[in-house]
């Protein structure tokens, strides 16, 4: 496992079905229901990340600021810094012997990491970090070009939702982004059979 130290959502079955939907990609990077490269922005204790990494064949990245949060929207679960750092430590220890896993303790808008990632590198990117409108829109804009097929994320809330005093702006930001990039999008879908719906964008 590689990790850098800068300053329960879906089960395995659903994830497998999601990855199976990518099976027909022409360039052959997908093998059955498995994916080569995966990035998750906003990881916390790693529940979602842990369900997906068994299906990643080459490189899976967990990116989260954990205890470095600077504003309430980066800490929507109101974690104490010691608790957040413990989540990071536990995830590092969980993957300590897995060479395909990279854990990055940093903000998702950190240009050091963004600029080191090649465009179209990740097969799947899952956005679940700062849930404010501004935070989501920034993540969408920063990571869109780094994804080659499936761009998705969590908490597309259909009703007004406030966490830790911050209004969830995921739906507003994603809807706006989809409209702005509609010429680059093959399909946009929302899985709403959940208290915290997930949005999916398949790129052209």
- pLDDT tens per residue, range 145-195: 999 989 999 989 888 988 878 899 999 999 999 999 999 998 898 887 778
Could you tell me if 74 and 135 are in contact, meaning their C-beta atoms sit under 8 angstroms apart?
A: yes
- Identify the pLDDT of residue 19: 54
Stronger pLDDT, 149 or 34, i.e. the higher one: 149
Q: Which of 124, 119, 135 is nearest to 51 (CA)?
A: 124
In order of 89, 107, 161, 165, the CA distances from 76 in angstroms are: 20, 15, 11, 8
Could you tell me if 120 and 145 are in contact, meaning their C-beta atoms sit under 8 angstroms apart?
A: yes
**For a pLDDT cut of 70, what percent of the chain falls above it?**
79
Count of other CB atoms within 10 angstroms of residue 135: 24
Q: Which CATH number does the domain housing residue 137 bear? A: 3.40.50.150
3-state SS, residue 173 = helix
Q: What is the mean pLDDT of the chain?
A: 83
The tally of domains found in the chain comes to: 1
The β-bridge relationship of strands 147-153 and 122-127 is parallel
- Identify the pLDDT of residue 18: 56
Q: H or E element: which one contains 5?
A: strand 2-5
**Helix axes 133-143 and 170-180, enclosed angle (nearest 10):** 40
Spatial separation of the C-alpha atoms in residues 135 and 156, rounded to whole Å: 14
- Identify the pLDDT of residue 91: 97
Q: Which residue range forms the structural domain that includes residue 9?
A: 2-203
Q: What is the pLDDT of residues 35-46, one digit of tens each?
A: 899 999 999 899
Q: How confident is the model at residue 72 (pLDDT cuts 50, 70, 90)?
A: low
This prediction has a pTM of: 0.84
- Identify the pLDDT of residue 4: 37
Residue 28 has pLDDT above 90, yes or no: no
Transcribe 104-144 into DSSP letters: EES-TT-HHHHTTSPTT-EEEEEE-S--SHHHHHHHHHHHG
3-state SS, residue 69 = coil
The pLDDT of 57-86, averaged and rounded, is: 82
Alpha helices in 144-203 (DSSP H): 170-180
What are the tokens at 25? 């990609």
């Amino acid at each position: 496992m590689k990790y850098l130290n800068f300053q329960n959502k879906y089960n395995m079955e659903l994830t497998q079905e999601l990855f199976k939907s990518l099976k027909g990609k022409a360039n052959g990077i997908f093998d059955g229901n498995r994916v080569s490269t995966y990035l998750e922005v906003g990881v916390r204790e790693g529940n979602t990340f842990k369900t997906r990494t068994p299906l990643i064949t080459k490189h899976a990245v967990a990116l989260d600021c954990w205890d470095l949060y600077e504003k309430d929207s980066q800490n929507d679960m109101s974690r104490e810094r010691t608790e957040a750092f413990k989540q990071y430590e536990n995830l590092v220890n969980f993957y300590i012997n897995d060479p395909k896993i990279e854990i990055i303790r940093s903000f998702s808008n950190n240009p050091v990491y963004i600029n080191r990632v090649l465009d179209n590198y990740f097969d799947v990117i899952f956005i679940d970090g700062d849930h404010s409108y501004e935070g989501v829109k920034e993540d969408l804009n920063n990571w869109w070009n780094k994804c080659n097929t499936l761009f998705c994320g969590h908490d597309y809330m259909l009703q007004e939702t406030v966490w830790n005093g911050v209004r969830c702006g995921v739906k507003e930001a994603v809807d706006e982004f989809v409209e702005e990039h509609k010429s680059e999008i093959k399909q946009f879908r929302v899985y709403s059979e959940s208290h915290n719906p997930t949005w999916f964008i398949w790129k052209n």
